[in-house]
Amino acid sequence: MIVVTGGAGFIGSALVWKLNQRGIDDIVIVDRLGSAEKWRNLVALRYSMFYEKYEFLDKLESGFFGDSIDTIFHLGACSATTEKDADYLMNNNIHYTIRIGTWWENHQDTRLIYASSAATYGDGEKGYKDDISGLDDLRPLNMYGYSKHFFDLYARRKGWLKKIVGLKFFNVFGPNEYHKNSMRSVINKAWPDVRDSGKISLFKSYNPLYADGDQLRDFIYIKDALEMTLFFFDNRNTGGIFNIGTGKAQTWNDCAKAIFSATGKKPLIEYISMPEELKGKYQYFTQADLQHLRQAGCNHNCMPLNDAVADYVQNYLIPQRYLGD
């Protein structure tokens, strides 16, 4: 049995889709659906059971599953970088994950892979190297990033990172992110404007080192992120924290032009003011250092940005499809 927490979310549901492609469907999905449209991500997937997140945790800790769990992909969390309720993030992102880790201590035949985040790197002043010895130097810019950083530190202190894997996802985009509201990728958010008015809005730069739209991000397509994630499913003796990105930073302007290219439209970009609450917490440059990942043996080469955006726009956004449809 494989457990995917956050399995109705963006990366989680995409992972279930990818496991289904491998012929795997003995999957327990754990999530909280609420009143959003997240449930739509589940419709085309094959899985054996769904549990609300605390119902699952109660069953896990009570011994309900026995020794039947082969792997837990713990991808469930509040991923909103703008979330201000620090107590909620402490409980949802940290304490919940610690309880899963504590269960794993007594069930180490189970593979545990959890989602960390590139948000732990803060403004990037200390670089983007996923060496656990450098964790103490990192200064996240928001509470979401700190919640992920806290657990990375906790797992290191407990010695868990010798056997479990934390994945620092960079800017992942692709199908099944439709429900994420303000946390959707710019590609998803911009698509209706490109379709209807042929225009994209990007934030102005407030850093003199970067022109408007030339802020840099490591954009990684969900299909590439899944290949890297499943490397650790297939290679069970590897532990540690690993970056999940392309290793190549590109500008928001590059991203916008890729959307126009995918639709055959002439680029028209306007630059708008950044919300005040984001100005002091904005990352102007992110780029995954992939040396550790390569040393572990993962040599997956990511799709070029133009090709990835074209696949997303033409095969999912235009026909309004989900993975598996």
How far is the C-alpha of 130 from the C-alpha of 121, rounded, in Å? 9
142 CB-near residues (< 8 Å, 6+ apart): 81, 82, 119, 281
| Domain with residues 2-173+219-247+286-302, CATH architecture | 3-Layer(aba) Sandwich (3.40)
3 state SS of 251: strand
| Predicted pLDDT of residue 152 | 98
How far is the C-alpha of 3 from the C-alpha of 110, rounded, in Å? 10
Secondary structure (DSSP) of 252-283: HHHHHHHHHHHHT----EEEEPPPHHHHTT--
Q: Are 259 and 187 in contact, with CB atoms under 8 Å apart?
A: yes
Catalytic residue among 47, 114, 128, 144: 144
**47 included as an active-site residue:** no
| Predicted pLDDT of residue 84 | 85
Task: Quick: pLDDT tens for 28-44.
Answer: 999 999 888 899 999 99
38: exposed, middle or buried (Cβ count in 10 Å: 0-12, 13-18, 19+): buried
What pTM does this model have?
Answer: 0.95
| Predicted pLDDT of residue 101 | 98
The residue type found at 273 is: S
114's enclosing H/E stretch is strand 111-115
**128 included as an active-site residue:** no
Q: Are 77 and 17 in contact, with CB atoms under 8 Å apart?
A: no
Catalytic residue among 180, 189, 199, 248: 180
Residues of the chain with pLDDT under 50: none
* Region for residue 247 given its phi and psi (left: phi exceeds 0; alpha: psi -120 to 50; beta: otherwise): left
Domain parsing of the chain, residue ranges: 2-173+219-247+286-302
